Structures are given as structure tokens and as C-alpha cells.
Chains A and B, each alone.
Chain A
Amino acid sequence: MPVLAVEGLYKVFGRRPHEGVEQLRAGASAADVQASGATAAVIDAAFEVEQGEIFVVMGLSGSGKSTLIRMLNGLVTPTAGHVLVGDEDLTTLDRKRLRAVRQERISMVFQHFALLPHRSVVENTAYALEVRGVERRTRLAAAREALEMVGLESWADHRPDELSGGMQQRVGLARALASEADILLMDEAFSALDPLIRREMQDQLMDLQSRLGRTIVFITHDLNEAMRLGDRVAVMRDGRIVRLDTPEAILADPGDEYLERFLADVDRSRVFTAGDVMSQAVAGADVGTVTVAPDTPLADLLEPSALSDTPLLVADATGEALGVVTRGDVLAALGGVRSEDLAASGRPTDDSDPLERSRA
């Protein structure tokens, strides 16, 4: 059973929003609704998020992703549709029950951190537990534990403004983790950070996630980030979810021109892994002496591939061979060409050195 499910979710701002929804359901476009004075922010969104998944919603500004994530914890009230957290429908709850769900089931990390400047780091981290009425000693202990998880335990008694942006966001993350809610909403959580820090935060998030197994809904406008973090990615455009798939599937087959243009900038070497690009080992062929794990990013295959004259062997933890990665596989994945296409076009997919071939 999904932890979080969204069905037929609409948000229309402006006057007579319900009429806007009716029009949209009848097939009107967002522009038609706009003409009648309403703004459709989210149109017919539907998805399910499973326990332990990182679900990324990717879209440019104005695509409705911020409105969508705010409907998941009721900060924005949907115009139509349902948001199911476990078996509770947020759209039917009164304020008190809604507050209880926010305290116990869903926490959130904000783009600009949203820390309280007049409280120390540890008091900020304990905020969710304080709201819930947890006794002071207990909640501060839990907050220190959460700070330890993000590596900030030595900063507990400082004020947020004494911390760098990346550290402040780690406090924001610790605050959300300390709440013990199983669903974590992250609204452009790393977008305000510079690229190097952003990368570190992504790594830390994935590391924490592999240990804690929370359910994360992550909003971003950065496709690289979406592809890196997401188990599945929903691409939003003009209020609609236009694509929902795994990063690999989206990269391999963008489906439309809009996405294709987007994907031009994606760092493929960070999305694809050895397991994604490997080909079947040909029996009797010269199998490589260099072994890599199937979850090694493509970026880390470049150097061994360049140095080894034979294909790289992909083997799992038990040492069982799963396949091989040839130089051709690596180049094809980087160039956005699938190995099957290569085979179909009749070009060799082996790793014969291009220089050697031209000499021959």
C-alpha cells in the first residue's frame, strides 16, 4: 500500500475556482481557464509514493510543483481531488486533525531554510517535537541525535545566523528528521545552495535515506538533481504531470521534444550506472580483468575503461559476473545512444580501439 497517494488533484486560483476545474475536466486548456479569470496551478495530478522511495517532482518555475507539494500537507487546500496519507484523506480533515497529521506523519524542508533566528540550532531542531508537546529534556536529546546524523552536533548551541547556508539547510533537514514523521517533503531544498555544497547535500541525503528509509517527496527545478536523487521522477509542465518514470527510462527515451531539450544538459555519467549500460558477455570473448560493481556511476567507469584494453567485468557482491562494459557501451550511454540502436545500425559494439581500426 502506498504511503502517500494523490488522486485527480486540482488547484485553481482566482475567482470561481470550481468552475475552472469543471472546464478543465471537460477538456479545456489552462489558457482557456486563464481567459475566464482563474489560474490553474495544478491540473489532474495523480501518483502514488511507496515507502522508502525518493519521489522527485521536477519542473520549471511556474509549473505548479510548489503548489503541488503544499497540497500534500494541506498548506494549500486542493480545489478538487484527494490526498491520501496512509488511509487518511487530508481533504476531509478538520484543522485539528490536519495539524495532528502534520505533527506525526509529514515534515518539510524549505528552500530558504525557514529557521527561527532567535533560537539556537538545537532548539530549532526540536521545534516539531515542541509543537507536539514532547517534554523539554526528551525533545532536546532527540534533536541532538538528529543533529549528529547531519554532522552538526558541535553547533547545537549556536544561532542559525552563525552557520553557512549549507549548514543551515542541514539544520532544516535535522529538524524534519527529528519530527520522526515518515514522509519528508523537500521544497527546492538544495536550490539556494552553491553547486559544490548542493552536491554534498545530495550525497548526505542519499546516505541518510539508505539508513533511515523515509519516504521523500523532493521538488526541484534542477534536472540533474532530479535524475541523481529520484527513484522515480514526475516531470511537471504548466500544471500537469507530463511524465512519470524512473530517471533511466526518461533519459533513455525522453518521449517528447520538450524533455529532450531539457535532457541535453543532464550529466548522464552521474545517472547511468554500470548495471544500466552493461552488455551481455559474449562467450569466449576476452573478458576483462577489471571488475566493477553494478551500481558504480558511469563517471567512475571512464578512467578504468580508458586504461583497460579489455571490457570491464560487472560483478555483484558475491562475485557473480552480470555482464561487461565495453568502451562502446560507455560512449553510447554518454552520447545518448542505446546499445540496441548501435547493433541495429550495424556498427561494431566491441571495444576495438578506434585508432587500431583506422590503422588496419
Chain B
Amino acid sequence: MHDTTLLTAAEDGALPRVPVGDWVDTGFDWLKDNFDPFFDALSDLTEATVDGVTAVLLAPPPVLLAVLLALLGLAVRSVAFGVGSLLGLFLIQGMDLWEEAMETLALLLVATVVAVVIAIPVGVAAAKSDRVSAAVRPVLDFMQTMPAFVYLVPAVTFFGIGLVPGIVTTIIFALPPGVRLTELGIRQVDTETVEAGHAFGSSPGQILRGIELPLARPTIMAGVNQVIMLGLSMAVIAGLIGAGGLGSIVVTSISRLDVGLGFEAGIAVVILAIYLDRLTGAFGRIERTSPLWRLRRRRSATTAANGVRGTAPAPAPEAVTASRTPRV
């Protein structure tokens, strides 16, 4: 009964057309009118930062940088990973895409740093307060599920075509997993360990820095890893609005229907993605097989007399046979 009246009402146009689009337009116009200097300043700052990072990445000879990146991978993960990354990075250079790849990497690095700097404090706040958590969650849902192309447009109206709207959209798109996994990581820290911090008189700040963040590190690093992965996919889409880098190659290949060029750019993205994923994955927990860990281990073993696991010395014999303390 009810439903049918409602349906006919809708068909008749009795339900009003809700002008959400108009409201959004008005809102964005207002922001644009009132905060333009702010957006301009932000834009200049971002552009300068990314340009700076790009310049740094392009300053050394490509082969040298590739070797350095491969060595970093080798140190934190394994020899195989180091060799693999070296080959992959050489392939990017062989395809003549090194400059574009470094532009994308610079954009990604800046976007990731900003996203992490926002995500971790918000995640910590959400972990500490159920209210904050409840308020933040729908915002994150919105950021994650709103089709990326939809906020490319307003980003362009604020910052014009180019690098900066690319960074902004990348940050918006990549931020949510950073917040979510930070919150999860902090909430999962063993309550008894946090209690121990309180029991020895630690302040909330000491507990956060000394107990919660270190113990949540693997989960938070998984979040950072996700931020980078999502950021990379978005950085390519941002090529549509002139963000440059590998994204612009992809856009060119689409407009020219150049399958070969598209795949070359795509493969370069995949190589960057795999390298960054494995690298940040390794930072979450320095693996016990990594060359760096072994080096550290060897150093600490020289200071410790007893190095073999599982050979616990028996408790002092006098403790075992100690007679019961006399009672009063």
C-alpha cells in the first residue's frame, strides 16, 4: 500500500528533485572565491617540493641510483630481491622511461609523506576514542569509494591542470588505509603490556611512544604499504589531469592507441610497485633472514656471552633448595 503510493508519487514528480549537485557546486565556488590565495600558496609549495624531489632523483646518473636502490633492497630484504630490483630498474632505463618513472616516484613520495603525516595521528586518535572512530569511518568510506575521476574535476578547479591536483587526489585516495590500519594496530596492542606501562607510572605520551606505536609498527607499516600502493595507482590516473610522469605516457598511448607504448609504461609502473611494496613490507619487520639483520645480530652477539637459543641456564641451585622462610 504504502510502497505503491510512494512509487507513484515518485513517478509523478511529487518527490522533489534534491539538488545535491547544485549544493556541491555552490560549496566549491565559495571555497574557490574565499580561499584562492591559500590554494595558490599550497599549490606553489607542493609544486616546488615535488620538483625538488624530482631533481634530487634525477641528479645522480641513472645507473648509480638504480644500484643504490637495489642495495637498499638487498640490505633490508635479501640478495635475490636486490638483484631482481636492479634488473627491473635497468629495464625501466632500457625502455627510456627513467625520467618519467622518477617523476612519478617523486609525486608518490611527497603524496605518501603527506598522507602518512595525516593518517597516523588521525588513526591514533580514532584508536583512543570510539567517538572519533565513529566520526572518521564514514569520511574514510567516502574517500575510498567515491570514484577517483569524480574528485579529479574539483581538484582541477582549485589547482588548475598539472602536478598539484594529481598529488591532492593521490593523497585523498591513498589516505584511508593508513588511518584504518593505524587504528587497528594501536587497538590490537596487548592490553597487559599497556597496563604494565601504566603500572610503572608512564604518562600517556610515554605509553604511546614507547609501547603502543612500536608494538603496532608492523600493522602501521602495512598501512603505509597500502598507502603507497594505492598512491601509485592514483598517480598514474592523475596523468589525465597533467600530473606528468608515467601517467602522461599512459594517457598518450591511449590517445594514440599505441599498445606497445602503453605496455612499456605499464610495466614500469609494475616494477616500481613491486619494488616499493617489498621494500616497505620489509620495513614493517626487519626480516630475520635479511643481511642487515644478520649484521646487527653479529654485533650484539659479541656483547652477549650466551648466544644459543634454547640453552637456558638452569636457575641457581641455591634457589631451588632454599628452605622456606620461617614464619612469625
Contacts and interface: CB of A to CB of B under 8 A. Distances in A.
A and B held together in a complex: yes
Interface of A: 73, 75, 99-104, 106-108, 110-112, 114-118, 120, 127-128, 131-132, 151, 154-158, 162-164, 166-167, 175, 179, 185, 200, 203-204, 206-207, 209-210, 228, 231, 246, 248, 273, 293-297
Interface residues of B, number: 40
B289 interface: no
Contacts of B201: 99-104, 128, 131-132
A4 to B, nearest CB: 15
Given A156-B304, A157-B300, A127 B200 contact: yes
Contact of A206 (B192, B206, B324): B324
A200 B320 contact: yes
A156 B312 CA distance: 13
B215 to A, nearest CB: 7
A163 B303 CA distance: 17
24 contacts: A75-B199, A103-B200, A110-B192, A110-B196, A112-B192, A114-B190, A114-B192, A115-B193, A116-B214, A132-B201, A157-B300, A166-B312, A179-B200, A200-B319, A203-B319, A206-B322, A207-B322, A210-B322, A273-B324, A295-B325, A295-B326, A295-B327, A296-B323, A297-B324
Which of A118, A120, A157, A296 gathers most chain B CB within 10 Å? A157
B4 interface: no
Nearest to A270: B324
A115 B214 CA distance: 13
B313 interface: yes
B257 interface: no
Contacts of B197: 131
Contacts of A273: 324
B306 interface: yes
A273 B328 CA distance: 13
Interface string B197-217: 111111100100011001101
Contacts of A112: 190, 192
B196 A154 contact: no
A73 to B, nearest CB: 6
B315 interface: yes
B40 interface: no
B195 interface: yes
A68 to B, nearest CB: 15
Interface string B104-126: 00000000000000000000000
A107 B199 CA distance: 7
A118 B214 contact: yes
A352 to B, nearest CB: 30
Nearest to B308: A162
Given A116-B214, A151-B313, A207-B319, A107 B195 contact: no
Contacts of B215: 116-118
B198 A102 contact: yes
Given A118-B214, A151-B315, A156-B304, A295 B199 contact: no
Interface in B202-259: 202-203, 206, 210-211, 214-215, 217
Nearest to B214: A118
A154 B203 CA distance: 31
A134 to B, nearest CB: 12
A295 B196 contact: no
B20 interface: no
B316 interface: yes
Contacts of A248: 327
A220 to B, nearest CB: 17
A111 B192 contact: yes
B306 A154 contact: yes
A116 B200 contact: no
